[in-house]
Structure 1
Amino acid sequence: MKDNLAQIPGRIKELREIMEISAMDMARDIAIPLETYAKYESGELDIPISALYNISAKLGVDATVLLTGEDPRMDTAAVCRSGKGVRVERYPGYEFTSLAYNFKGRTLEPLLVYLDPAKAAAAPVTHYGQEFNYIVEGTVKVTVGVREYVLDAGDSVYFNAGIPHAQSAVKGPAKFITIIQEGAH
C-alpha cells in the first residue's frame, strides 16, 4: 500500500486539473490554507483522512479512488476478508485499513486502526459528522476536546467529530474499529 500512498497526491492533482479547479479554489473550499494544500498535493505533508474525504467530496469521487486509483464496484454488499482491506499508514504509528473500500456510495467509513505507542501520537483532527470507536485490543486514550477517555478492549466511545479529537495507544500497541460518518457537510 505504500506505493498507493505515494500516488495519492498525484491522483488528487490530476483530478483537480481535469476538473479545472485551481489549487486556490480547492484549498478555500475545503477550508485549509493554500500553502498546506500545496504541500498535500506535492506529497510534502501527509493528508489527514478528514482532508482526504473533503477533497474527494469536492472532486466528486469516492475516497477509494484517491486511495487506490479504482472505483468501488459493489452496491449490494462488500465483503472484506481478514487482512485484505486497503491499508494506509497515515502518520507514523497510526495505520488504518479501510473495511468497506469497495462499496459504492457509502455514507459510513469503517476502519480498523492500528496504533503504535513507540511513535508520537497524531495531532487532533476534526471532520464533519460523527465518529464511533470500539477498542479491539490494548488500551487507547481518546481525546475529544478537553476530555480524555481511557478505553480498554470491549469499550467504545461515540462523539461529534467536529470537535478536535485524537487517539493514542497506552501501555503497548492497540487496535480499534472506527466508524466515521461521511458526506455530512
Structure 2
Amino acid sequence: MDEARIVRNIRVVRRAKGITLEELAKLTGLTKGYLSKIERSGKAPPFSTLNRIAMALGVDVTFLLMEEAEDLEEDVKLVLVRKDQRKVVTTKGSLYGYQYEALAHAKPGKNMEPYIITPAFEETAVFQHEGEEFLYVLEGTHEFIYGDQRYIMEEGDCVYFDSEVPHTGRSLGPKRAKLLAVMYSYKRK
C-alpha cells in the first residue's frame, strides 16, 4: 500500500460525503492549507493526523489504508482476516518508518483498530490523539515513551493508556520489535 493511495482515499471519501476542505478543516482542527497540501502531495500525514481525518469523515482509519475504497454503509457483524489478507503499510516518510498491518480493515464502523506495528529504531514524532490504546510486545524490545516517562518493554509486556497524553516509541536491540496495537476511538457518528 503506498501513501498516494491513502491520500487518494481521503480525497475520494471527502468528496463522496460532500465535505469541502474548509469543512474538513473545522472538523479536524487542522488548517485548510495543510489538508490541501496532504491531498496534493501524495504523502500520507502522521498516523495521529490520519486518524483525526478519518474520524472527521466518519470512517475507520483502516478504510483510508485500503487499496480501493469499499462500501461505507455495509453492516458487517463479523470479519475473519486470514494472515495473507492483512493490509500492510510501510513508509519511510510521513508514517515515520513504522510498518502497520491492519488486522480488521474489512470491518466498517468499528471503535477499535487492531494492528501489528513494527516501530523504527529512531525516536519518532510524538503522537497525541483522542482515545485509548493497548500495546503488547510480540517480539523484541520496545522503548515506550509516555509523557515524561520512559518504559522498556520486553516480549510479553503490555501497556494500556489514554492516547491523549503525548506518546511515542521505538525498537531497541538488534532487530525491530513487533507489537500488537489496539487503538480505541470513541463512538463514531
Same fold (TM over 0.5): yes
Q: RMSD over aligned Cα, in angstroms? A: 2.2
**SS of residue matched to 2:110:** coil
Matches of 1:89 and 1:71, distance apart in 2: 25
**Percentage identity across paired residues of the two chains:** 28
Unmatched tracts of structure 1, length 5 or more: none
- Pairing 1:9-158 to 2, within 5 Å after superposition: 9-43=7-41, 45-68=43-66, 69-71=69-71, 75-90=76-91, 91-117=95-121, 120-158=122-160
Which residue of the partner structure matches residue 178 of structure 2?
A: 175
Alignment-derived partner of residue 168 in structure 2: 166
Secondary structure, counterpart of 1:173 in structure 2: coil
Distance 1:79 1:160, change over 3 A: same
Change (3 A) 1:105 1:20: closer
Could you say which structure has the higher strand fraction? 1
Where 1:142 maps in the other structure, the secondary structure is strand
CA distance in 2 between partners of 1:138 and 1:19 (Å): 42
What does the per-residue CA deviation read over 1:90-137, in whole Å, with 9 as the maximum and x for residues that have no partner?
5242111011111232111111001232xx332011111111100001
| Separation in 1, partners of 2:15, 2:109 | 24
1:163 deviation in Å? 0.7
Contact 1:74 1:102 in 2 (8 A): no
Q: TM-score, normalised by structure 1?
A: 0.85
Q: For each residue in 1:59-87, what CA deviation from the matched residue of structure 2 results, as whole angstroms up to 9, or x when unmatched?
A: 23333432221247672322222242111
Aligned length: 181
Partners of 1:79 and 1:100 lie apart in 2 by 8
Shift of 1:45: 4.3
Runs of 4+ residues deviating >4 angstroms:
none
Structure 2 residue ranges without an equivalent (≥5) = none
